[in-house]
Amino acid sequence: MVIKIAVPIKSGSRLTGVLYAAVLLNNNTEFIDRFKRLVFKREKLRGKDIGTTPIFLGDIRVATNVVDGAGRRAIGTQVSEEVYQPVKRLIAASKEMAQGIYHRIEIDPHDDDDARNLGQAFNGMVEAIEERDRELKDQAARTILKFEKLASIGRLASGITHKINNPLTAVLTYSRLLLEDMKGTKYEEDLTVIRDETMRCRGIVRGLLDFARDTKPERALSDLNLIIEDSLRILEKHVSFQNIEIVKALDRPLPRVTVDPGEIRSVINNLAVNAADAMPNSGRLTITTSAEPEFGMVVISVADTGAGISEENMCKIFGPFFTTKGRGQGTGLGLAMTYGVIQRHGGLISVESNVGEGTKFTIKLPPQ
């Protein structure tokens, strides 16, 4: 019996070779004894080891630390009927598990202690897997419902914004003209309020259009590190970042990704500005990039040392119009737009936060 493994060797995102290795398990005492030490920790009962670790090929021991009457390893011996029957039940139940059937095995009271313990452990594993699968199905259902709600809101927002954009432009134009004519009069202050509030409404409309946009991104093979550096080069000069330390931990070389550079730049800008708003006095903004070749993803993380997000708000932050900022300081569409951009790129976005310690957003994008 042989255990084999093959690992891809890549240059960037290009496959250049395969590393292949195999280990013979027949009579492999080093492997079997190490496994026994990991599981049973050298524990003994009445001077004897409390557990053994055999490897079977069919019903024949090809590696084991079970000893025969002469004290030799019982390699090549056939498993006893008392052991074979519980193992046979476990194998049959495992095959059903692979097909999604959560089958528990019956514990035979005539089995020895080891066989009964093995059966109880297997049934406990089945219950744990069944519970995990229930949780995953519930989470998937909630995620699908969230996507459907966001899509419905997007369609509604798109229809509304197109209808109110023209009237808003007219109000803004005439308010500016009147403000020029009424400077120095008692109406100047009122007209300034009209202009500013109309501009705020226009910002909301533009945010809605970005959120509801169903056009395909203009994608190109891009270097995420360059996109991030371009974004930060502009942000570093902004007044909001004057007292903030910006740390860049960019992995090089990073696999190139096929993205819309403008949309990804908007995502970085939005997350960075939100981080700055969470650190009004001072703090540290850390942007990290890395690759997960085993999962085929490129990762961006944006972390701050700001106020953090409360547990009750964690499930709301990607919803449109949700904001904890004061009046006039945000539309509540930035993170909704960010979520939509990452979804359109086939990626994932998640958030971790502790109140008073900071927040970390993690984005995973598929390469090329």
Confidence of residue 79 (pLDDT cuts 50, 70, 90): confident
φ, ψ for residue 142 (rounded to 5)?
A: -65, -40
Which of 214, 248, 269 is at the close of a domain? Answer: 214
What pLDDT sits at residue 303? 95
Q: Which of 333, 361, 332 is nearest to 347 (CA)?
A: 361
Please, which residues have CB within 8 angstroms of residue 37's CB and are 6 or more apart in sequence? Answer: none
Residues 228 and 281 in one domain: yes
Q: How far apart are the first and last CA of the chain?
A: 39
Q: Which of 340, 308, 280 is nearest to 153 (CA)?
A: 340
What pLDDT sits at residue 207? 64
Pairing of strands 297-304, 14-24: unpaired
What pLDDT sits at residue 128? 83
Answer whether residue 238 is part of any domain.
yes
d(CA 173, CA 276): 33
Task: Give me the mean pLDDT over the 90-115 stretch.
Answer: 76
Taking 80 as the threshold, does the pLDDT of residue 244 lie above it? yes
- Number of domains forming the structure of the chain: 3
Instruction: Give the DSSP H or E segment for 307.
Output: none
For 24-67, the pLDDT digits (tens) are: 888 888 888 887 887 777 777 667 776 777 888 877 888 888 78
What single letter denotes the amino acid at residue 25?
Answer: L
Taking 70 as the threshold, does the pLDDT of residue 147 lie above it? no
Confidence of residue 229 (pLDDT cuts 50, 70, 90): very high
Please, which residues have CB within 8 angstroms of residue 1's CB and are 6 or more apart in sequence? Answer: 24, 25, 26, 55, 57, 62, 63
Q: What percent of the chain has pLDDT over 70?
A: 83
Task: List the domain range (segments joined by +) for residue 146.
Answer: 104-214
Task: Give me the mean pLDDT over the 317-333 stretch.
Answer: 63
**Token representation of residue 263:** 């949309």
| 172: Cα separation from own chain's centroid | 43
For 346-365, the pLDDT digits (tens) are: 899 999 999 989 999 999 99
Answer whether residue 85 is part of any domain.
no
CATH code, 336: 3.30.565.10
Residues 120 and 237 in one domain: no
Which of 187, 214, 241 is at the close of a domain? Answer: 214
For 173-204, the pLDDT digits (tens) are: 888 899 888 888 988 888 888 888 888 777 76
